[in-house]
A and B are shown apart, each in its own frame.
Chain A
């Protein structure tokens, strides 16, 4: 596989559930990102990892918990989410943490009931 792969593509969860989103990049990049995309709103940066270390947390609620075990894999653990958390969650990678040219996955469309 090439590029940035995200699973699952779609996820429906209740407010009391715990789930995880997975992202894998095959580009040899050093930086990985989580973005949130809601309807009619700009892309919103959530977290940045560089060489497995979290370098940015954009004031994201603690019900979102990222994990980066290595430079190729990124997870977003979800627990006790709210309906307003329903959105498209996009993973991206870039060569370094300057964060210019981003390569995005296709996203996970999350619905919280």
Chain B
């Protein structure tokens, strides 16, 4: 059974203090690993898809990396507006048909000015 574990559960940073969020996964065959951002009172917003070990994606202060067992979301010099819950999800490589996304419970990030 596919599983996703995110750590830490919550993270508090000062503005400008860089850090990383972790997403560990077990999956029978990885089709893709996804990062979403969720603000309070809103639905998740897509950030990145990573498909193979060694791949990296960047968007502003965020950089996602992927290995065969985990993904990291690196946040460089964060700002208060980066405060949100970050969700990781994996999708198995389907033999046929639909293969659902399996989500982690997320990391709540709070960036203080």
Listed in ascending order, the chain A residues whose CB lies under 8 Å from chain B are 4, 40-43, 45, 48, 50, 55-56, 58, 90-92, 97-107
Contacts and interface: CB of A to CB of B under 8 A. Distances in A.
Interface stretch (B53-61, B66-74, B97-105): B97-105
B113 interface: no
Taking chain A's interface residues, is the majority helix, strand, or loop, or is none over half, making it mixed? Answer: loop
B27 to A, nearest CB: 14
A42 B49 contact: no
Interface stretch (B11-19, B36-44, B75-83): B36-44
A21 to B, nearest CB: 13
Contacts of B101: 43, 45, 99-100, 102
Contacts of A56: 98, 100
Contact of A101 (B4, B31, B46, B104): B46
Given A41-B105, A43-B87, A99 B44 contact: no
**Among A42, A97, A100, residue most surrounded by chain B Cβ atoms (within 10 Å):** A42
Contact of B46 (A48, A55, A102): A102
B34 interface: yes
A10 to B, nearest CB: 10
Contacts of B98: 48, 50, 55-56, 97-99
A106 B49 contact: no
Contacts of A100: 31-32, 34, 49, 91, 101
A109 B31 CA distance: 31
B43 A45 contact: no
Contacts of A97: 98
A88 to B, nearest CB: 9
Given A43-B101, A45-B101, A99-B98, 19 more contacts: A4-B43, A41-B105, A43-B89, A48-B100, A55-B97, A56-B98, A56-B100, A90-B44, A98-B98, A99-B91, A99-B100, A99-B101, A100-B32, A100-B91, A101-B34, A102-B101, A103-B46, A106-B41, A106-B43
